[in-house]
């Protein structure tokens, strides 16, 4: 773990704003972590929607062309990779108060370091999901521009 000078400066500023109260400063870091967790949950929900849409319409989309098949499978895989990344790197729980037992001067720095790592992981997960959704949208566009007559129930 590498605590940068920027993290040290931010920790010092937060502690000053909290008048030296470590628990109040850790609550600031905790509230920022909660924002990252909440946004990560949105990404997980969007990835879940991709799976749901695939379950209902995937066969119809894939049946329109070989290219649509490749794009829908690629979009699904990238979206699920995003969900796995976010789950592993952002959604993992470690209590902020567990840091309070460490050296008091470094506890807030460690919390901010974790916040920054989770924020970076969230950003990458969001980018992956966006790419997956673009691939998925291309598959849908291919289906719409190449309509195939439906004969009988689609299973």
* pLDDT tens-place string over residues 71-104: 999 999 999 999 999 999 999 887 766 766 667 6
Q: Is residue 131 assigned to a domain?
A: yes
Q: Is residue 1 assigned to a domain?
A: no
Q: Tally the domains of the chain.
A: 1
Q: Is residue 92 assigned to a domain?
A: yes
Alpha helices (runs of H) in the chain, residue ranges in sequence order:
5-17, 22-62, 66-89, 104-145
Q: Is residue 135 assigned to a domain?
A: yes
Distances 106 to 1, 93, 109, 146 between C-alpha atoms, Å: 12, 20, 5, 60
C-alpha–C-alpha distance, residues 139 and 67, integer Å: 7
Q: Is residue 12 assigned to a domain?
A: no
Radius of gyration of the chain (CA): 22
Q: Is residue 125 assigned to a domain?
A: yes
C-alpha–C-alpha distance, residues 62 and 72, integer Å: 7
C-alpha–C-alpha distance, residues 138 and 144, integer Å: 10
Distances 17 to 12, 33, 66, 85 between C-alpha atoms, Å: 9, 18, 59, 34
Give the model's pLDDT for residue 42.
96
The tokens of 77 are what?
């895989």
Low-confidence ranges of the chain (pLDDT < 70): 96-97, 99-102, 104-105, 150-155
Give the model's pLDDT for residue 2.
86
The tokens of 7 are what?
């993290």
Give the model's pLDDT for residue 95.
74
Residue ranges making up the domain that contains 77: 21-145
Q: Is residue 88 assigned to a domain?
A: yes
Q: Is residue 123 assigned to a domain?
A: yes
């Amino acid at each position: 773990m590498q605590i940068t000078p920027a993290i040290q400066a931010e920790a010092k500023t937060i502690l000053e704003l909290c008048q030296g109260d470590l628990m109040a400063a850790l609550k600031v870091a905790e509230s920022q972590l909660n924002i990252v967790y909440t946004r990560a949950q949105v990404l997980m929900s969007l990835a879940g929607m991709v799976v749901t849409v695939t379950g209902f319409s995937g066969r119809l989309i894939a049946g329109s062309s070989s290219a649509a098949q490749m794009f829908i499978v690629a979009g699904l895989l990238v979206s699920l990779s995003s969900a796995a990344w976010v789950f592993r790197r952002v959604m993992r729980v470690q209590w902020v108060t567990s840091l309070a037992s460490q050296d008091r001067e470094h506890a807030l720095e460690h919390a901010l370091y974790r916040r920054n790592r989770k924020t970076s992981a969230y950003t990458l997960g969001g980018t992956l999901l966006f790419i997956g959704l673009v691939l998925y949208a291309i598959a849908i566009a291919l289906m719409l521009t190449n309509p195939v007559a439906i004969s009988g129930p689609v299973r």
